[in-house]
Amino acid sequence: MSRSRSRRVRPNVLVTGTPGTGKTTMSSLLADAAAMRHFNIGDLVRQKGLHDGWDDHLHCHVINEDMVCDELEDSMEEGGNIVDYHGCDFFPERWFDLVVVLQTDNSVLHDRLTSRGYMGAKLTNNIECEIFQVLLEEARESYASEIVMPLHSNNVEDISRNVATLTEWINNWRPPVQSN
């Protein structure tokens, strides 16, 4: 597989996982700890109107993936970004040096989503998404398996450990040697 890499000197990290697994909480702490830029794609879509309207059934914006990718391209070329989103298959593969998939036990996730106000089909769909490891599979289908890193996110100790592990990974990262 040929992956053209840019000349970035800091890595780009994608943090994905089912809603409620802790992507935004962990990404925000990681961005502070490792001096990286944090893009919460949901917020970006709302703030910049990168969508095709509102989905009444799913109660969320219909994200316009091309507009999101155009918006991020220059920053991703520079490097030093953490991208946080509950999907991962539409970003260019060349953007990311590491793809983190956060995973949470069903009962814990159920409580988090309920307290966020999720119910009915929205709650069930997200719990099933986690049970069937949909995001892990999507990540492994979309990126080289050696850059996909599943991490548990059940409690605050997990957050601290994940932030420490990823900060060390980011600080030790070196650009791949380019052949010709």
Residue 133 contacts ligand DAT per CB under 6 A:
no
What DSSP string runs through 132-178? TTHHHHHHHHHS-GGGEEEEE-SSHHHHHHHHHHHHHHHHH--PPPP
Which residues fall in the annotated binding site? 20, 22-25, 116
Q: Which of 155, 160, 168, 171 binds ligand DAT (CB under 6 A)?
A: 155
Q: Name the segment binding ligand DAT (CB under 6 A); options: 67-75, 120-128, 133-141, 148-156.
A: 148-156
* Residue among 133, 123, 114 nearest 58 (CA): 123
Structure-block tokens of residue 99: 């793809």
Q: Point out the residue whose Cβ comes nearest to ligand DAT.
A: 22
The count of residues interacting with ligand DAT (CB under 6 A) is 15
Site string for ligand DAT, 108-127 (x = CB under 6 A): ----x---------------
Site string for ligand DAT, 14-53 (x = CB under 6 A): ---x-xxxxxxx----------------------------
Q: How far is the CB of 156 from ligand DAT (least distance, A)?
A: 5
Nearest CB to ligand DAT, comparing residues 6 and 154:
154
Specify burial of residue 177 (Cβ count, 10 A radius: 0-12, 13-18, 19+): exposed
Closest CB 5 distance from ligand DAT, rounded Å: 28
Q: Which helix (H) or strand (E) holds 107?
A: helix 106-115
Rounded to an integer, what distance in angstroms lies between the CA atom of residue 152 and that of residue 22? 10
Half-sphere exposure of 25 (CA within 13 A, CB side): 16
Place of tokens 């962990």: 26
Q: Which residue has tokens 């509102």?
A: 54
Nearer residue to ligand DAT within complex by CB, 12 or 40: 40
Residues that bind ligand DAT (CB under 6 A): 17, 19-25, 112, 153-156, 158-159
